[in-house]
Each structure stands twice: as structure tokens, then as C-alpha cells.
Amino acid sequence: MESTNPAALQPSAERMIREAFGAQPYLRQLGARIASLALGRAELTLPFRAELAQADGAFDPGIVATLAENAGRVAAQTMLPAERAALTVEFKVNIMAPGKGEVLIARANVIRSGKTVTVCRADVAVQSGGSETPCATSVITLLSTAR
């Protein structure tokens, strides 16, 4: 299902998405970054800091959900023309393991791109000491709207 050679974005589209991402105060404050972008794909990363943790030292499930949802939103945006925005209608997250590690990574793919509705899947993993552990999977349903 996941093609190995996703198409690159137009530079203007990539710039626009990165600028919009950078203009989100909450994501900036969290420290989330776009690690890579391609048509129908987005990878976000978020380095661990003590204030992003639950009591057990793992990333809070809310942070895991936030990164997954934003990865889905960015991936959806890669399929839309500049004058349309992806708006999250609903999302669902399965927490599969505690997110304990140095970097949280959310990888989203568009699995259905329609005129009105886009559906993305986002898998979240945590990097720790050079290896990666899956910690969540999510599905995000978005609406394409005029900006």
C-alpha cells in the first residue's frame, strides 16, 4: 500500500505548507518539526522534554495524538491546491505502547483523497537509543474547505 517512491511536492507547495506549520503557536511551542514531506505523505518529529511527559516519563497520550493528528493534517494538505485547507473532522488513536524515548515520530499517509473528504493514517513511533518502537496508530478524517 505504501509506495516506495512518493512524488516530491512542488517547491511552492512545500514552502507554503512549511510556513503554515511554522505559524502554529502550539506546534512551535511543543517543538514539533516537519522532517519530510512528499505527495500524500508527512513525517513529523518531536524531541522529548520533561514537560511533555506523563508521570511515568513517557510522552503524554495527548501529545502522541497531537503529533498524529497534525501529521495527518499536513499529509492531507499536500494533496490539496493552495486555495483549499484541510480541516480535521475526527480522529482516532490507538495507544499501543508507552511512548518512552528521545524523539516521537509520526508518519502519515493519505489513504483516500476525495473532493470533499480526505482520510489519512498516521503511525507513531518513539526513537530510543537508535531503535524505534511503534507506540500508536491513528486514522484522521479531514474535510477540504475553501481558505
Residue 82 as a binder of a second copy (CB under 8 A): the answer is no
From CA 119, how far away is CA 122, in angstroms rounded? 10
SS (H, E, C) 82-132: CCEEEEEEEEEEEECCCECCCEEEEEEEEEEECCCEEEEEEEEEEEECCEE
Residue 143 as a binder of a second copy (CB under 8 A): the answer is yes
Question: Exactly one of 45, 121, 122, 124 binds a second copy (CB under 8 A); which one?
Answer: 121
**Choices 7-15, 37-45, 64-72, 75-83; region in contact with a second copy by CB under 8 A:** 64-72
Cβ burial of 46 (10 Å; 0-12, 13-18, 19+) is buried
Question: Exactly one of 9, 17, 44, 70 binds a second copy (CB under 8 A); which one?
Answer: 70
Count of positions on this chain that bind a second copy (CB under 8 A): 48
Q: Which of 147, 63, 146, 145 is nearest to 101 (CA)?
A: 63
Contacts of a second copy in 17-56 (CB under 8 A): 20, 23-29, 50-55
Q: Under the rule (CB under 8 A), what is the footprint of a second copy?
A: 1-2, 20, 23-29, 50-55, 60-63, 65-67, 69-70, 88-97, 111-112, 114, 116-117, 119, 121, 123, 134, 137, 139, 141, 143
